[in-house]
Structure 1
Amino acid sequence: MEKIRKILEVALNFEKSGQDFYRMNMEKVNQKLAKEIFKYLMNMEASHVKYIQSLIDELKDGKPLLQLQDYSDEMFEKRLQSQALSESTYKSDLADLSIFRMAYLIEKDFVEYYEKAAEKVEDESSKALFITLRDWEKRHAEMIKSLMEKIFEKHSLDLGFYG
């Protein structure tokens, strides 16, 4: 259980930093759609922080880990992905693209971390926990990737970076 606790403590710090990233950059992005997605992701990361903290607390108390609840809001995610970008300049879209790229890489790092965590634990319920957390982060990465693709499309910049 010590290994799982340490993995969760690192995950907790990752999730907190992700939440802070979205909070700090929500007002920096120009696209209205991006602001909505960043607010959504900030709130999702906050729910991950609470959930992971509750898991750490349970481990400290010697209790078995809680079963996961899926915090995803697929209807919200699909609605955001189907929205068009607002009119903006090429320069402001490029500025947003830099922030989106950082967000995408953060989410990809989370995916990789949870994937490796699942490989390192032997307990099947812990493995399932980390796979579910990985899948949550994959959905976040896909949302960010969708934003980047919309900017590439808008400006005919399909360079195949994130395929």
Structure 2
Amino acid sequence: MFLINEILDMAVQFEKNGEKIYREAADKVSDPMLSALLAWMADEESHHATYFSRLKQKHPDSGNHSFSRELSREMLDEILGDRGFSLEDVDFSNIADQNDMIRTFIEFEKDTILFYEMLTPFIEDPAAKRMLETIINEENRHVERLTVFLGSETAHPAFSDC
């Protein structure tokens, strides 16, 4: 049902939604360290959106799938829109420390992975399935990278500017 470009559109939209929520939260959080961490995570989401956009450029639309594309676009708008799933309910001003903030980031990344995994049965094209696996692997690497900072004595890279 979903084509490579449609899957990449979803990935870009997830990243943009996360970036927007993190940037808005960074402006509202009073702790400069947590604000820096949110701004760093917004940048991470922006980099991911750029990465997925570049992947899309490497996979031009193959054929005339206007009905499928329109249906998928409507589903994408309905499902994602400007939502951030688990981030929508987070009151970032109540997060007290770096580890809690990073756990929130990890939860959002895991939610996106779960969403992509739920799409798998609806993808028939082998190339599209491989692309979905690439996206899931990239999100898993992001979770691993964030997990390194939990409870770490090492200062998070976001704090270098504070």
Determine the structure 2 residue equivalent to 1:23: 23
Q: Which amino acid aligns with 1:49?
A: A
Question: Percent identity between the aligned chains?
Answer: 22
CA distance 1:12–1:43, change in 2 (3 Å)? same
| Residue among 111, 124, 134 paired with 1:109 | 111
Task: Give the TM-score normalised by the residue count of structure 1.
Answer: 0.53
Q: Deviations over 1:73-118 (max 9, x none)?
A: xxxxxxxxxxxxxxxxxxxx97225x94765543332222344456
Q: Distance in 2 between matches of 1:108 and 1:20?
A: 18
Determine the structure 2 residue equivalent to 1:80: none
Give the secondary-structure state (helix, strand or coil) at the position aligned to 2:29: coil
Give the secondary-structure state (helix, strand or coil) at the position aligned to 2:30: coil
CA distance 1:119–1:30, change in 2 (3 Å)? farther
Alignment check: 8 A CA contact 1:15 1:45 kept: yes
Alignment check: 8 A CA contact 2:30 2:93 kept: no
Matches within 5 A, 1:91-102: 95-96=94-95, 100=101
Structure 2: gaps spanning 5 or more residues: 63-91, 152-162
Could you tell me how far 1:30 is from its partner in structure 2? Answer: 3.0
Structure 1: gaps spanning 5 or more residues: 63-92, 148-163
Structure 1 vs Structure 2 CA RMSD:
3.8
CA distance 1:135–1:102, change in 2 (3 Å)? closer
CA distance 1:30–1:107, change in 2 (3 Å)? farther
Alignment check: 8 A CA contact 2:22 2:41 kept: yes
CA distance 1:139–1:112, change in 2 (3 Å)? same
Matches within 5 A, 1:28-107: 28-60=28-60, 95-96=94-95, 100=101, 103=105, 105-107=107-109
Q: Deviations over 1:109-140 (max 9, x none)?
A: 22223444567654474254123222134247
Could you tell me how far 1:26 is from its partner in structure 2? Answer: 0.8
Which has the higher relative contact order, 1 or 2, with Cα contacts under 8 A spaced 6 or more apart? 2
